[in-house]
Amino acid sequence: MTASKHQFPQPSSEAIETLPEFIRILLSQDSGMVTIKPRVLFQIIEESNSTPPLYSTAIPSSKIGSITTLEASLLCSLLMICKPSKIFEFGTFLGYTTSLFLLNSSPNTKVVSLDLPEEKKPAKDEALDFDWEKVQTNDDYNDRYLSHFAQRMGEIYLKRFSSDSRLELIKIDSRFLVDHLEELNYRGKFDYIFIDGGHSFEIASIDTHNAMIMLSERGVLIWHDYGSQLHTNVTDVVEMFARDGVIVRIQSTMLAFYFADKQRFLHSLNMHI
């Protein structure tokens, strides 16, 4: 899980505010970007639960590279809606979102998180002598800083899960994951995929392509850093993909998501469509 300084897109005056309106738009639109307010996902949870459900989270890191608590609650809301049996994450980083998935999924849910192999990471003892202004304003420089920081800190949020059989950490450069999809039996196997790895156009494109191959028929694909003023390549990739499907952006966050099957998703809400 990686992130930049939180620079959110400006709120849209056309953001969808209600669940019925969201359903209407999904039924009438086959492609393009749709913006919803966070409350829409919360309304789905309310419709499905007579008692408001709880979710669990560790205290997020105070350092650059953490998602917001609002984003954490929305990721958990999507977990509750999808009830995935297998989760895949591009970009382990410190393991914060990985731990979020483990804490809030069923005891039988498998969580697989991918990060770079050790030989592709900077040396642990390499000096972290970075220009802080460039860290916050330069895309590639920010990614370099995050790689150094993650290597120095390690996957600190996963220490309590070291013996959890649900967790699998794989160390593969995601650009070459496609070469291993068949042997790993990943094709169409994941109900919930979270992309928050490298932010270059190449890596974001390849991760999205691989995720689409790996996504199950009932799956949801989620991107982080959509709308980031720093990692603009992610926005370009998501909007390119939106030419062929409906992508939902959540206002006041850097989250965007796609359901593999809109009709299945709507039926899962036990609504007549």
User: Any bridge partners for residue 115, and if so which?
Assistant: 171
The pLDDT tens digits for 211-223 are: 999 999 999 999 9
**174 lies in some domain:** yes
Q: Has residue 147 been placed in a domain?
A: no
Q: Between 79 and 147, whose confidence is greater?
A: 79
175 in any annotated domain: yes
Alpha helices in the chain (DSSP H): 19-28, 38-48, 69-82, 96-104, 132-137, 139-153, 181-184, 201-214, 232-241, 262-268
Rounded to whole angstroms, the Cα distance separating 241 from 243 reads 5
Q: Determine, yes or no, domain membership for 61.
A: yes
Tokens of 262: 């809109």
Mean pLDDT of the chain: 89
What's the pLDDT at 128? 60
Q: Is residue 131 part of a domain?
A: no
| Higher pLDDT, residue 152 or 75 | 75
What pairs with residue 220 in β-bridges? 192, 259
Q: Which two tokens stand for residue 156?
A: 């600190």
Residue 3: inside a domain: no
48-84 pLDDT, tens digit each:
889 999 999 999 888 777 899 999 999 999 999 999 9
Domain carrying residue 192: 19-122+156-268
Number of compact structural domains in the chain: 1
DSSP-derived letter for residue 174 is G
DSSP secondary-structure letter at 257? E
Mean local confidence (pLDDT), 163-190: 96
154: phi > 0 → left, psi -120 to 50 → alpha, else beta; which?
Answer: left
Q: Does the residue 79 lie in any domain?
A: yes
| pLDDT: which is higher, 81 or 263 | 81
Mean pLDDT of 114-123: 76
Structure tokens at 3: 């992130």
Assess if residue 12 is contained within a domain. no
Residue 188: exposed, middle, or buried by beta-carbon count in 10 A (0-12, 13-18, 19+)?
middle
Name the token pair of 179: 């070469």
What's 113's domain CATH number?
A: 3.40.50.150
Distance CA 140, CA 3 (A): 13
In the predicted model, is pLDDT for residue 116 greater than 50? Answer: yes
Return the residue matching tokens 């809400």.
269
Amino acid at 248: V
> How is residue 4 annotated by DSSP?
-
Q: Tell me whether strands 215-224 and 190-195 are parallel, antiparallel or unpaired.
A: parallel
β-strands 255-259, 215-224: how paired?
A: antiparallel
Interacting residues of 183 by C-beta distance below 8 A, sequence separation 6+:
none
This prediction has a pTM of: 0.92
Residue 231 predicted with pLDDT over 90: yes
- Cα 141 to Cα 230: distance, rounded to the nearest angstrom: 11
Length of the chain: 273
Q: Which residue has the tokens 């954490």?
A: 72
pLDDT of 11 reads 42
pLDDT attached to residue 232: 96
